[in-house]
Amino acid sequence: MPKGSWWSAGVAALLLAAGCKQQGQQQQDVQRDAHAQVETAQERSEQALKQAEDAQARASDEQRDVADARQDVQRAQQELQEAQARAQKETQEAQTVQQQASNQAQQAQAEVQQSQQQAAEAQRQQQEQMAQTQQQLAQQQDQMARTQQQTAQQQPSGQMQQMVTGRVVSSSPDELLLSSAGAPGQPQIRLQINEQTQVMVNGRQGSPADIAEGSQVRASYQDVGGEPTALRVDVTSSGQGTGGSQGELPRQ
C-alpha cells in the first residue's frame, strides 16, 4: 500500500476513534441526565407522597377533633337534659311539700278550732254540773238542817250534846272509832252513824265514805238508846290537829 494511503487510513481511524469517543461521551451525558431526571422525579414523587401522608394525618387529626367535639356536644346535651330533668323533679317535689304543708296547716287549724269548741262545751257542761252540784248540796244541807232540828225537837228535854276531837282509828258507813286522849278513862270512843249524821270534809259536804283512817275529826254526838250517836262530824286532812278535848254543848 502506498504511503499516502496509510496516512489517510490512519487519519480516518483517528477520526473514527474520536467520533466514537465523542459519541460515547454524549451517550454518558444523556444517561447521566436521564438518571438525574429519574432521581428528581423520584424525589418529587416521594415529597408528594410525604405531603399526601401529612395531609392525610392532618385530615385524620381534624376528623378526630371533629369526633371529639361532637362527643363533647352530645355529652353537654345529655348533661343539660339531666339537669332539666332534675330541676323539674325538684320543682315537683317542692310543690308536693308545699301542698302537704298547706294541708297540714289547714288540718291543724281545724283541729284547733275543734279543740276550742270541745273545751268551750266541756267548760259549759262543767259549769252546769257545778251549778247542779251546788244546788243539790244546798238542798241536802237544808234537808239535814231540818232533820237535825226535828231530831233535836224529838229528844227528851235536858239531854246534852257532847263534843269530841280525835284521830280516826277506823271508819265504816254506820260506825266511827276515834282515839281521843281527852276522854278520861276512855282512850277510844265509838260513835254510831246514821242517816241524820252530817259529815263535813274540809268545810264541804261529804259522806261517811270520805272519812279516812288517820284523819283528825271533831264530832258532836248524843246518847240515843244508850249508844253515842254522831250528829255532826267535821273532818280535816290527815295529820292536822291533835286529839284532846271533850266537853258538852247545849242542845239546840
Residue 82 binned pLDDT confidence (cut-offs 50, 70, 90): very high
Residue 246 binned pLDDT confidence (cut-offs 50, 70, 90): very low
Check residue 244 and give its pLDDT: 41
Check residue 229 and give its pLDDT: 95
pTM value? 0.34
The grid cell for 6 is 496509510
pLDDT, tens digit, for every residue of 6-40? 677 777 777 777 777 777 788 888 888 888 888 89
Q: Output 203-210 pairs: Cβ under 8 A, ≥24 positions apart.
A: 205/137, 205/140, 205/141, 206/235, 208/171, 208/172, 208/173, 208/174, 208/176, 209/173, 210/235
Superfamily the domain 155-249 falls into? Copper binding periplasmic protein CusF (2.40.50.320)
pLDDT surpasses 80 at 162: yes
